[in-house]
Amino acid sequence: MPDDTPQPATFTGVLRFLADSATAEDLVRIEAAVNERRKRLDLARIASIAAKQLVRIDKTREMRFRGLTGTVLSVERTLMPTASVLLDAPSTARLRKLRHQIPAGATEFAVTMPLGCLYPVSPDAGK
Protein backbone atom coordinates (compact mmCIF):
# COMPACT_ATOMS: atom_id res chain seq x y z
CA MET A 1 0.00 0.00 0.00
CA PRO A 2 1.58 3.34 -1.04
CA ASP A 3 2.37 5.85 1.68
CA ASP A 4 0.38 9.10 1.18
CA THR A 5 2.54 11.04 3.65
CA PRO A 6 3.74 14.27 2.00
CA GLN A 7 7.44 14.20 1.28
CA PRO A 8 9.63 17.17 2.14
CA ALA A 9 10.37 19.35 -0.87
CA THR A 10 13.90 19.58 -2.15
CA PHE A 11 15.48 22.99 -2.36
CA THR A 12 15.69 22.60 -6.13
CA GLY A 13 12.00 21.74 -6.21
CA VAL A 14 11.14 24.83 -4.18
CA LEU A 15 13.18 27.04 -6.51
CA ARG A 16 11.51 25.47 -9.52
CA PHE A 17 8.07 26.13 -7.99
CA LEU A 18 9.00 29.76 -7.31
CA ALA A 19 10.31 30.30 -10.83
CA ASP A 20 7.57 28.45 -12.69
CA SER A 21 4.38 28.17 -10.65
CA ALA A 22 4.17 30.61 -7.73
CA THR A 23 1.35 33.13 -7.90
CA ALA A 24 1.71 36.74 -6.78
CA GLU A 25 -0.11 35.75 -3.57
CA ASP A 26 2.33 32.87 -3.03
CA LEU A 27 5.27 35.26 -3.45
CA VAL A 28 3.84 37.69 -0.88
CA ARG A 29 3.52 34.84 1.64
CA ILE A 30 7.02 33.58 0.84
CA GLU A 31 8.49 37.07 1.18
CA ALA A 32 6.87 37.44 4.62
CA ALA A 33 8.27 34.06 5.69
CA VAL A 34 11.76 34.97 4.40
CA ASN A 35 11.69 38.30 6.24
CA GLU A 36 10.62 36.58 9.47
CA ARG A 37 13.42 34.03 9.10
CA ARG A 38 15.98 36.79 8.50
CA LYS A 39 14.85 38.54 11.69
CA ARG A 40 15.25 35.32 13.70
CA LEU A 41 18.70 34.67 12.22
CA ASP A 42 19.78 38.26 13.00
CA LEU A 43 18.56 37.93 16.59
CA ALA A 44 20.45 34.64 16.98
CA ARG A 45 23.62 36.18 15.50
CA ILE A 46 23.39 39.21 17.78
CA ALA A 47 22.78 36.99 20.82
CA SER A 48 25.86 34.92 19.95
CA ILE A 49 28.31 37.84 20.02
CA ALA A 50 30.62 37.42 23.02
CA ALA A 51 33.97 38.59 24.38
CA LYS A 52 37.08 37.18 22.66
CA GLN A 53 35.13 36.47 19.47
CA LEU A 54 36.52 37.45 16.07
CA VAL A 55 34.09 39.69 14.18
CA ARG A 56 33.71 41.68 10.97
CA ILE A 57 31.93 45.03 10.99
CA ASP A 58 29.29 45.50 8.30
CA LYS A 59 25.94 47.20 7.57
CA THR A 60 26.78 50.37 9.45
CA ARG A 61 26.06 53.90 8.29
CA GLU A 62 29.71 54.73 8.96
CA MET A 63 31.21 53.52 5.67
CA ARG A 64 34.78 53.72 6.99
CA PHE A 65 34.08 50.88 9.46
CA ARG A 66 32.58 48.45 6.94
CA GLY A 67 34.75 45.39 6.44
CA LEU A 68 37.03 46.04 9.41
CA THR A 69 37.81 43.07 11.63
CA GLY A 70 38.81 42.60 15.23
CA THR A 71 38.20 40.86 18.54
CA VAL A 72 35.30 41.65 20.86
CA LEU A 73 36.61 43.02 24.15
CA SER A 74 33.26 43.41 25.91
CA VAL A 75 29.53 43.44 25.23
CA GLU A 76 26.96 45.82 26.70
CA ARG A 77 23.44 44.40 26.41
CA THR A 78 21.51 47.56 27.19
CA LEU A 79 18.60 49.19 25.37
CA MET A 80 21.01 49.86 22.50
CA PRO A 81 23.39 46.86 22.70
CA THR A 82 27.00 47.57 21.75
CA ALA A 83 30.37 45.87 21.82
CA SER A 84 33.86 47.19 22.22
CA VAL A 85 35.97 45.73 19.39
CA LEU A 86 39.77 45.77 19.28
CA LEU A 87 40.58 46.18 15.60
CA ASP A 88 43.40 44.05 14.22
CA ALA A 89 46.50 45.63 12.70
CA PRO A 90 45.31 45.64 9.04
CA SER A 91 41.97 47.19 10.04
CA THR A 92 43.67 49.77 12.26
CA ALA A 93 45.97 50.72 9.38
CA ARG A 94 43.02 51.00 6.99
CA LEU A 95 41.08 53.19 9.42
CA ARG A 96 44.15 55.41 9.90
CA LYS A 97 44.38 55.91 6.11
CA LEU A 98 40.78 57.16 6.23
CA ARG A 99 42.00 59.93 8.56
CA HIS A 100 40.43 58.50 11.69
CA GLN A 101 42.32 59.78 14.73
CA ILE A 102 44.42 56.88 15.95
CA PRO A 103 47.42 57.39 18.25
CA ALA A 104 50.76 57.34 16.43
CA GLY A 105 52.39 53.93 16.53
CA ALA A 106 49.21 52.11 17.57
CA THR A 107 48.82 48.80 15.74
CA GLU A 108 45.43 48.02 17.31
CA PHE A 109 42.56 50.35 18.06
CA ALA A 110 39.33 49.89 20.03
CA VAL A 111 35.97 51.05 18.66
CA THR A 112 32.44 50.70 20.02
CA MET A 113 29.88 49.36 17.56
CA PRO A 114 26.21 48.34 17.70
CA LEU A 115 25.87 44.56 18.01
CA GLY A 116 23.72 44.50 14.88
CA CYS A 117 26.77 45.54 12.84
CA LEU A 118 28.95 42.63 14.02
CA TYR A 119 29.27 39.32 12.18
CA PRO A 120 31.24 36.38 13.58
CA VAL A 121 34.33 35.41 11.60
CA SER A 122 35.95 32.00 11.57
CA PRO A 123 39.48 32.16 13.06
CA ASP A 124 40.92 30.56 9.91
CA ALA A 125 38.96 32.76 7.44
CA GLY A 126 41.17 34.34 4.84
CA LYS A 127 44.05 31.90 5.32
**Residue 126: its pLDDT value, please?**
58
**Same domain assignment for residues 60 and 103:** yes
17 within domain boundaries: yes
2 within domain boundaries: no
DSSP state of 108: -
User: CB of 52 within 8 A of CB of 74?
Assistant: no
Mean pLDDT score, 44-68 = 94
Does 70 have pLDDT greater than 70?
Answer: yes
- Domain span holding position 61: 50-120
Measured CA to CA, the distance from residue 64 to residue 97 in angstroms comes to: 10
**Same domain assignment for residues 81 and 116:** yes
Does 2 have pLDDT greater than 70?
Answer: no
**Same domain assignment for residues 37 and 80:** no
**In the chain, how many domains are there?**
2
Least confident range from 7-11, 17-21, 37-41: namely 7-11
Does 51 have pLDDT greater than 90?
Answer: yes
Q: What is the CATH number of the domain that holds 99?
A: 2.30.30.50
Spatial CA neighbour of 87 closest among 42, 127, 41, 103? 103
Give the ranges where 5-87 is alpha helix by DSSP (H). 11-20, 24-48
The model's pTM is 0.78
Measured CA to CA, the distance from residue 95 to residue 71 in angstroms comes to: 16
**Same domain assignment for residues 67 and 102:** yes
Measured CA to CA, the distance from residue 119 to residue 96 in angstroms comes to: 22
